[in-house]
């Protein structure tokens, strides 16, 4: 690793942390709330807006149902919050839904939940970043014109912050989250106070337009379907609850109680903000349309539809224009930080799956700053792919959203009901049984609510884009199954068998050492000396003759040097090097099957990448072929060229990170 790359790494990530500093990264409640709850808190920036957008298809009269839809969503949210408070007490290890479902319903159901959660985490980042750019774009049109680029840059910056470690990023994220909550409560409180106490009517900029219904009056089944679809879109407000159950290990002790308290705070704040926005939007006459230039009659040709939050801020702070920019700014910040919930939850879940051999083991190792670096990077690039593919359009991305989270919600509640039922079979203490029965009732109610929402989401959003999320979950499920099968196969192959099947580990009868020689120089002499130090039964040097004159010169030099090791010349009429050596080694092993052949290959250690291209190529090709031959060992004998000196000073700095990332396995 060059000095430049090392300096860049330290600038981006900071200095490495020792493993015994892991406790430094644990979070108090005041930091855990913004870190883990920002996803659910931020959803109020787009979930109410999506309800209005869906109902706009039926015209302005359909907006009368927004408070009732909002109450239904709020009710489900409170039920889910209560249910997950039982989860964090019963399973505080951080596996969350994955651990609950795997333990109670089996590995296949657990893997289904894991697939759903991982897809949902990716979409959380994509939706949050896209919505953040839309809110900034409401105040700064230039950002709206280039929101894909800005969203991608924001994802990369957030990934970099998380690579530095959760404690530092948590501290940095606390102030913006609290600023969002304070700003929203001020906007809602002052707006509703003006309307209902001061009797001062507030009108949003879109209130004067006429909403055109594309399909005329919507009645009967079509209206029911539309309301159900609006409800499913509004249910995006529930996303993020599971992040706390997945992140329990990151809390300070007592972990479960602190996590449950944070969940309760999350529920109260989210419900009040969600319903407050819907009430204020209804009172100010906000109109949101998927295609404003077609649906909003009376809108000017250059009309740019602002987000719901921006329109409310503009109406409430009409005498204080800076208020719009402040609200747009803190809303964008909370949305960016919502993605941080995924950056905290996804790597932890990935680490657990890697430990269970469903994902590559690299996802289980911590990076220089004690963060799960590989999981963070995977999440960042997957989210960027969705942002680019859907051009950072929130309405398009929301169709894929929440399928995964309600799959995990529902299976988790089934698992919790079974968990309490199993404990009740053996528990005899009356007080403990009452507590378990109460918890089982709460989780059963949660199962009914989340299962109903899941059916509504799949039915109303499948053709609109939910099928993509379902396909992604299915593909991820299949990939993890294959990875697990591979690891199991390798484990069975490598585990010790009974004595009759230990032929491969019986000591060889002889060790036949072979030193490859191209020239008689210092690397060759070091390889000969090292080979002799191993005390083999047979030691010989071999060279492949591709040029008669050079071969004769090497033989004469060898004889003049009076080296005790015999030099054997292997003919190569087609001027190959690899094939003659392989054939020779194969003959030795065939003549004596219990003989192990150790091949010593001199190699150069270089200091520049371009030197690697000029050296060692024949040795690398030969080594790659020899590794597949049974009863053959390959030993590289390094010779450090002078250019390698420049890298020696860098080795201590890179070693700690290399070890934690598994490079030294």
DSSP 444-486: HHHHHHHHHHHHHHHHHHIIIIIHHHHHHHHHHHHHHHHHHHH
Query: What is the C-alpha to C-alpha distance for residues 62 and 213, in angstroms, rounded to an integer?
Result: 10
Looking at residue 306, which CATH number applies to its domain? 1.20.1740.10
Give Cα separations from 563 to 129, 289, 325, 517 (angstroms): 70, 89, 83, 13
pLDDT for res 646: 67
Note whether 527 and 599 are within 8 A (CB): no
Residues 59 and 103 occupy one common structural domain: yes
pLDDT for res 497: 56
Residues 329 and 470 occupy one common structural domain: yes
Instruction: Classify the C-alpha dihedral 541-542-547-552 as positive or negative.
Output: positive
pLDDT for res 622: 87
Residues 373 and 457 occupy one common structural domain: yes
Please list the alpha-helical segments (H only) found in 285-364: 292-295, 308-316, 322-355
Residues 109 and 203 occupy one common structural domain: yes
Q: Which helix H or strand E contains 652, and what residues bound it?
A: helix 651-660
Q: Which two tokens stand for residue 415?
A: 């698992």
Query: What is the C-alpha to C-alpha distance for residues 453 and 461, in angstroms, rounded to an integer?
Result: 12
Judge residue 665's burial from the number of C-beta atoms within 10 Å of its C-beta, 0-12 exposed, 13-18 middle, 19 or more buried: exposed
Query: Domain tally for the chain?
Result: 2
Question: Phi and psi at residue 156, in whole multiples of 5°?
Answer: -65, -40
Residue 496 lies in a domain: no
pLDDT for res 369: 45
Residues 250 and 330 occupy one common structural domain: yes
Phi-psi region of 490 (alpha: psi -120 to 50; beta: other; left: phi over 0): alpha
Of 438, 458, 488, the domain-final residue: 488
For tokens 């060059």, name the residue.
2
Residue 28 lies in a domain: no
Residues 476 and 546 occupy one common structural domain: no
Residue 391 lies in a domain: yes
Residues 451 and 572 occupy one common structural domain: no
Residue 597 lies in a domain: yes
Residues 220 and 295 occupy one common structural domain: yes
pLDDT for res 451: 95
For 80, half-sphere exposure in the C-beta direction (CA atoms, 13 angstrom radius) is: 36
For tokens 């102030």, name the residue.
175
Is beta strand 296-297 parallel, antiparallel or unpaired with respect to 567-571? unpaired
Residues 276 and 360 occupy one common structural domain: yes
pLDDT, averaged in runs of 10, over the chain (665 residues): 47 49 64 79 89 81 87 94 90 79 92 91 91 88 88 90 63 81 94 91 83 63 84 88 76 85 91 94 86 71 83 90 90 85 80 84 59 79 93 87 88 94 89 92 95 92 89 94 89 64 65 92 91 93 89 91 91 85 91 90 79 69 88 88 67 36 36
Looking at residue 554, which CATH number applies to its domain? 3.40.50
Residue 497 lies in a domain: no
Residue 30 lies in a domain: no
Q: Which helix H or strand E contains 605, and what residues bound it?
A: strand 595-605
Note whether 379 and 121 are within 8 A (CB): yes
Cα R_g (the chain), whole angstroms: 33
* Residue of 401, 394, 291 lying closest to 335 (CA atoms): 394
Residues 473 and 613 occupy one common structural domain: no
Residues in a beta bridge with 513 = 539, 598
Query: What is the C-alpha to C-alpha distance for residues 530 and 524, in angstroms, rounded to an integer?
Result: 10
pLDDT for res 163: 79
For tokens 């059963």, name the residue.
444
Query: What is the C-alpha to C-alpha distance for residues 485 and 203, in angstroms, rounded to an integer?
Result: 61
Residues 439 and 555 occupy one common structural domain: no
Residues 576 and 433 occupy one common structural domain: no
Residue 610 lies in a domain: yes
pLDDT for res 295: 67
Residue 147 lies in a domain: yes
pLDDT for res 20: 47
Domain span including residue 384: 3-23+38-488
Of 488, 518, 542, the domain-final residue: 488
Give Cα separations from 576 to 498, 579, 627, 642 (angstroms): 43, 6, 19, 30
């Amino acid at each position: 690793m060059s000095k430049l790359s090392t300096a860049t790494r330290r600038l981006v990530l900071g200095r490495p942390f020792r493993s015994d500093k892991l406790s430094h990264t644990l979070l108090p409640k005041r930091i855990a709330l913004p870190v883990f709850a920002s996803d659910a808190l931020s959803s109020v920036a787009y979930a109410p807006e999506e309800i209005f957008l869906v109902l706009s298809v039926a015209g302005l009269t359909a907006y009368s149902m927004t408070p009732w839809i909002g109450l239904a969503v709020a009710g489900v949210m409170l039920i889910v919050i209560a249910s997950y408070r039982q989860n964090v007490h019963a399973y505080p290890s951080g596996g969350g839904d994955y651990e609950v479902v795997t333990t109670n319903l089996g590995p296949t159901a657990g893997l289904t939940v894991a697939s759903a959660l991982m897809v949902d985490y990716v979409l959380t980042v994509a939706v949050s970043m896209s919505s953040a750019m839309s809110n900034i774009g409401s105040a700064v049109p230039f950002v709206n014109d280039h929101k894909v680029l800005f969203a991608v840059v924001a994802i990369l910056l957030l990934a970099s912050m998380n690579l530095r470690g959760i404690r530092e990023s948590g501290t940095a994220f606390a102030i913006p989250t609290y600023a969002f909550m304070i700003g929203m409560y001020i906007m809602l409180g002052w707006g509703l106070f003006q309307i209902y106490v001061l009797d001062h009517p507030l009108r949003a900029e879109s209130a004067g337009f006429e909403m055109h219904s594309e399909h005329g009056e919507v009645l009967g089944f079509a209206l029911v379907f539309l309301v159900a679809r609006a409800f499913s879109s509004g249910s995006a407000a529930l996303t993020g609850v599971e992040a706390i159950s997945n992140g329990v290990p990151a809390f300070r002790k007592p972990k479960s109680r602190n996590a449950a308290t944070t969940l309760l705070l999350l529920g109260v704040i989210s419900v009040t903000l969600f319903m407050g926005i819907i009430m204020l939007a209804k009172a100010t006459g906000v109109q949101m349309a998927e295609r404003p230039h077609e649906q909003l009659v009376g809108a000017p040709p250059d009309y740019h539809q602002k987000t719901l939050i921006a329109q409310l801020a503009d109406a409430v702070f009409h005498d204080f224009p800076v208020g719009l920019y402040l609200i747009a700014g803190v809303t964008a910040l909370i949305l960016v930080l919502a993605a941080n919930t995924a950056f905290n939850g996804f790597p932890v879940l990935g680490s657990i799956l890697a430990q269970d051999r469903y994902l590559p083991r690299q996802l289980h190792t911590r990076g220089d700053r004690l963060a799960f670096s590989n999981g963070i990077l995977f999440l960042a690039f997957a989210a960027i792919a969705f942002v680019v593919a859907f051009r950072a359009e929130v309405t398009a991305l929301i169709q894929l959203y929440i399928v995964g989270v309600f799959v995990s919600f529902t299976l988790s509640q089934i698992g919790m009901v079974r968990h309490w039922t199993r404990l009740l079979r053996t528990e005899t203490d009356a007080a403990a049984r009452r507590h378990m029965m109460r918890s089982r009732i709460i989780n059963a109610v949660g199962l009914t609510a989340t299962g109903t929402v899941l059916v509504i989401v799949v039915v109303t959003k499948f053709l609109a884009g939910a099928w993509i999320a379902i396909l992604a979950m299915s593909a991820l499920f299949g990939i993890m199954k294959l990875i697990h099968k591979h690891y199991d196969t390798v484990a069975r192959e490598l585990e010790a068998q009974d004595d009759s099947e230990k032929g491969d580990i019986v000591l060889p009868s002889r060790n036949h050492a072979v030193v490859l020689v191209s020239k008689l120089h210092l690397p060759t002499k070091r390889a000969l000396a090292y080979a002799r130090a191993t005390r083999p039964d047979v030691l010989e040097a071999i060279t492949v003759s591709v040029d008669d004159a050079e071969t004769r010169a090497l033989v004469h030099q060898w004889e003049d040097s009076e080296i005790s090791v015999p030099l054997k010349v292997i003919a190569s009429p087609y001027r190959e090097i690899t094939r003659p050596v392989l054939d020779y080694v194969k003959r030795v092993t065939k003549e004596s099957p219990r003989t192990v052949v150790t091949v010593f290959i001199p190699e150069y250690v270089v200091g520049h990448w371009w030197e690697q291209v000029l050296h060692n190529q024949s040795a690398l090709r030969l080594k790659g072929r020899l590794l597949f031959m049974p009863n053959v060992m390959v030993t590289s004998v390094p010779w450090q060229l002078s250019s390698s000196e420049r890298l020696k000073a860098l080795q201590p700095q890179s070693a700690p990170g290399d070890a934690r990332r598994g490079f030294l396995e």
